[in-house]
Structure 1
Amino acid sequence: MTLIEFLLLLLIAGVCGSIAQSLAGYSHGGCLVSIALGFIGALLGAWLSRLVGIGDFLAVQIGGATFPIIWSVIGGALFAAALAVLGGRNRNVE
């Protein structure tokens, strides 16, 4: 995998993580958190797709690695929602 392919993979993971955070309504961090959420969502989403028995759709091939776009967004949204439930929301009490 070349540097350009790796940076493109990070960009796609960041976009998927940002979309997942928007869907879950829980945003706690910046660009690096979105990238990490995109990768965690891809792992969780791939596990869910195998569990349910639905194959990958809208997957991108980058440098021999397959990145499932839709499953990454679904898995990331589920993970962000779980973080929101477990961590609670920060509220300013005056």
Structure 2
Amino acid sequence: MSLLELILLLVIAAICGSVGQTLVGYSAGGCLISIIVGIIGAYIGIWVANEFSLPVLYTLNIGGKPFPIIWSIIGSAIFAAVLALINKLLRGNR
């Protein structure tokens, strides 16, 4: 994987992470956090798709590796919702 492909992958992961966080209404941080949420969301989304035998929708091939856009957004939303719940439980009703 070249440097350009890696940068492209990180930009797409950031966009997917941002969209997932926006759907939930919880933002964990800035661009770096959106990249992390997008990458973790891709893994969560693929896991959910495999568990329920759902098709992988709209993948981009970057450097010969598929990146699932729709499942990354769905997984990012799930991950952001879990982060929001954990944050709310830790902070209590302050």
Q: TM-score, normalised by structure 2?
A: 0.92
Does the 8 A contact of 2:42 with 2:68 survive in 1? yes
Gap runs ≥5 in structure 2: none
1:11 correspondence with 2:31: no
Query: What amino acid is the match of 1:3?
Result: L
Query: What amino acid is the match of 1:48?
Result: V
Query: What amino acid is the match of 1:9?
Result: L
What is the identity percentage for the equivalent residue pairs of Structure 1 and Structure 2? 49
Paired with 1:84 and 1:6, the residues of 2 have a C-alpha distance of: 29
| Structure 1 stretches of 4+ moved >6 Å | none
SS in 2 for 1:66: strand
1:71 correspondence with 2:93: no
Gap runs ≥5 in structure 1: none
Paired with 2:63 and 2:28, the residues of 1 have a C-alpha distance of: 30
Q: RMSD over aligned Cα, in angstroms?
A: 1.5
- Which residue of 2 is the match for residue 33 of structure 1? 33
Q: TM-score, normalised by structure 1?
A: 0.92
- Which residue of 2 is the match for residue 52 of structure 1? 52
Does the 8 A contact of 2:28 with 2:80 survive in 1? no
